[in-house]
Amino acid sequence: MIIREATIADIRQIQIVRNAVKENTLSNPGLVTDADCAEYLTERGKGWVCEIQDEIVGFSMVDLLDHNVWALFVTPGFDKRGIGKQLHDTMLNWYFSQTTANLWLGTAPNTRAEAFYRKAGWTEIGTHGKGEIKFEMTYDDWSRPS
């Protein structure tokens, strides 16, 4: 398993992972374009991928402009191997090395993602979008030893 910075060349496989997930699915896969992915990778923030045997099986992207987690997904069948946690921790370590601004994300309630973020120390601060739970991570909470 290799965690590395995502590149433009990874977008095709990133899209495959994004559209394979069973929770937090896109109502219209066309809503997240290759151009959107490229913008988040090169202009708005940064992304990472997890490769196993040259196949991307998970990815994360963070937005430094809006201070939010834009994406964190793992291909079904590759869950419960620590991939999501490694992508999450790599992303947050980089984010908080760039800024001390609070980071937020939204995820659907009653999902494994909700449980994942709660376990990772995120604080629920309200709702976002169409009934998603809005979570926040502060620099101090992330930097505090567990």
Question: Is the pLDDT at 129 greater than 70, yes or no?
Answer: yes
Q: Identify the CATH number of the domain in which residue 32 sits.
A: 3.40.630.30
Edge-first strand listing for the sheet containing 55-63: 2-5, 45-52, 55-63, 68-74, 103-107, 132-137, 123-128
Cα distance between the two ends of the chain: 25
Q: Which residues have a Cβ under 8 Å from the Cβ of 64 and sit 6 or more positions away?
A: 44, 45, 46, 95, 98, 99
Greater pLDDT, 29 or 83: 83
Question: Is the pLDDT at 145 greater than 80, yes or no?
Answer: no
Question: Is the pLDDT at 22 greater than 80, yes or no?
Answer: no
Question: Is the pLDDT at 65 greater than 70, yes or no?
Answer: yes
Provide the pairing of β-strand 68-74 with 55-63.
Answer: antiparallel
Domain that holds residue 104: 2-143
Mean pLDDT of the chain: 90
This prediction has a pTM of 0.91
* Predicted confidence band of residue 106 (pLDDT cuts 50, 70, 90): very high
CA distance 98 to 26: 29
Tally of structural domains, the chain: 1
pLDDT at residue 5 in the model: 97
CA distance 71 to 56: 14
